[in-house]
Structures are given as structure tokens and as C-alpha cells.
């Protein structure tokens, strides 16, 4: 699988390492609007100028990518997702899906219409069970421990045929009239969720 890493700030470092360690993944493009961050990534990872881009559109035109890893700020997620999906690329995005519910719905709709997978990472889902979490035998599941990002990336598998429902909120989940169906929701006491 050939990917484009979009956003070269602090979070990109862990995704770079995860992709680098996975023998079935090759990063073919790196996108960052900040020239300083592009240069830092180039020096840190020894990247050639030919794989560094100021825009996702440029990277898509110059590479033959299969997917995008979006590690941009939430306010940019919609633009990245819609661009990638419009060009037939799958999207692996950092949480949250969006900081705007209407934008989130547009992204889900675009993924549904494109037939591509748009998933949000749940890298902590596969980590050690939190101390206040009941044992697996009482929860009724068998959630594996360890491997967060690596496990998510390894389960991308054949993207076109795998809806990835057990790893993340995928675009075809429904909750009433909303395109979302959370597997679990934890609210702060007193949180207003209207």
C-alpha cells in the first residue's frame, strides 16, 4: 500500500515510524503547508525534495498513492478527507473526525459516495486496559493488548474489501438519522450532548 502523510507536525512522527516498520506500506508523499516543518521533516527523515509537497493535490498528482494518513488539525480534516476521497484514496485520520458536526457528516457522505474507507484511529483501543475498565471476561469481549498504531495499520489489509468496522468508526455506520453510530461513548459528568 502506498500512502501520503498529510501534516508533518508532532503527531506525524509516530505515524511515520509505524508506516516505516510495516513492510506492506510505503510512504510516497509528505504534505505540509509550513516550509519550516517540511524542511524539518526532510532533515529528520532524510527525504528527497521530490516527495515533499505543499498541498495534497500536488502529492496526489505526483504519486500513485492508495491512501492518506491525515495528522492535520481537526479544522483541516474535512478539506483533506474530501480531497483524498474525490481522488479515490482511502483516509486514515486522527481523532476527532472533525470539530464541526456538519463537516463530519459531509465527510461521511463523501466516503459513502466514493466507496472508499474513511476511518478514524483508535490507537488506544489496543493498548493496556485502563485500571477502571472491567476485565475482558466481565466486559464480554476479548480486546487484545498492545500495538495501537501498528495494529490499526496492519488491519488496513485489502482496503477496498474491508469496512474495518471493528477498528474504527467507519463511514457506513448509522445512528438513527445520523450517519454515526458510536461503539462507545463516555461523557464527562454534566456534559451537554444536545
The confidence band for 143, taking pLDDT boundaries of 50, 70 and 90, is very low
What is the per-residue burial (b if ≥16 Cβ within 10 Å, else e) of 24-47? Answer: ebebbbbbbeeeebbeebbeebeb
Contact assessment for residue 64 and residue 92, using Cβ atoms and an 8 Å cutoff: no
pLDDT of residue 1: 94
Q: What digits encode the pLDDT tens for the residues 149-172?
A: 444 444 444 443 433 333 333 333
Q: What is the DSSP string of 129-156?
A: PPTTSPPHHHHT--PPPS-HHHHHHHTT
Q: What is the DSSP string of 98-129?
A: -SSHHHHHHHHHHHHHHT--EEE--TTTTSPP
Please give the Cα distance from 169 to 179 (Å, whole number). Answer: 10
Q: Pick the residue with more confidence: 3 or 136?
A: 3
What the chain holds in terms of domains, given with CATH numbers, is 2-161 (3.40.50.720)
For the cut 90, the answer to whether the pLDDT of residue 31 exceeds it is yes
Using a 10 angstrom Cβ sphere, with 0-12 exposed, 13-18 middle and 19 or more buried, the burial of residue 72 is buried
Please give the Cα distance from 6 to 32 (Å, whole number). Answer: 6
Whole-structure pTM value: 0.69
**Paired residues of 26 in beta bridges:** 2
Nearest in space to 169 (alpha carbons), one of 108, 80, 88, 87: 108
Mean pLDDT across 41-60: 97
**Paired residues of 175 in beta bridges:** 178
Please give the Cα distance from 151 to 167 (Å, whole number). Answer: 9
Q: Measured between alpha carbons, how far is residue 87 from residues 48, 70, 80, 140, 172 in Å?
A: 24, 15, 11, 40, 19
The torsion angles phi and psi of 43, rounded to 5 degrees, stand at -70, -40
Q: What digits encode the pLDDT tens for the residues 70-116?
A: 999 999 999 999 999 999 999 999 988 988 899 999 999 999 999 99
| DSSP 3-state of 67 | strand
Average per-residue pLDDT in the chain? 76
With a pLDDT cut of 70, the percent of the chain lying above it is 62
Amino acid at each position: 500500500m502506498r500512502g501520503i502523510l498529510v501534516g508533518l507536525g508532532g503527531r506525524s512522527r509516530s505515524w511515520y515510524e509505524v508506516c516505516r516498520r510495516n513492510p506492506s506500506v510505503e510512504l510516497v508523499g509528505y504534505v505540509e503547508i509550513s516550509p519550516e516543518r517540511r524542511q524539518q521533516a526532510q532533515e529528520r527523515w532524510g527525504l528527497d525534495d521530490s516527495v515533499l509537497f505543499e498541498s495534497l493535490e500536488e502529492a496526489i498528482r505526483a504519486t500513485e498513492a492508495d491512501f492518506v494518513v491525515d495528522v492535520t488539525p481537526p479544522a483541516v480534516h474535512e478539506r483533506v478527507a474530501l480531497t483524498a476521497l474525490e481522488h479515490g484514496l482511502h483516509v486514515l485520520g486522527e481523532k476527532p473526525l472533525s470539530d464541526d458536526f456538519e463537516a463530519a457528516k459531509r465527510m461521511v457522505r463523501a466516503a459513502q459516495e466514493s466507496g472508499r474507507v474513511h476511518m478514524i484511529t483508535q490507537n488506544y483501543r489496543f493498548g493496556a486496559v485502563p485500571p477502571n475498565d472491567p476485565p475482558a471476561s466481565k466486559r464480554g469481549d476479548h480486546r487484545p493488548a498492545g500495538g495501537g498504531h501498528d495494529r490499526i495499520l496492519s488491519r488496513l489489509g485489502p482496503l477496498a474489501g474491508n469496512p474495518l468496522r471493528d477498528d474504527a468508526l467507519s463511514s457506513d455506520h448509522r445512528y438513527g438519522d445520523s450517519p454515526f453510530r458510536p461503539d462507545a461513548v463516555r461523557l464527562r459528568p454534566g456534559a451537554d450532548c444536545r
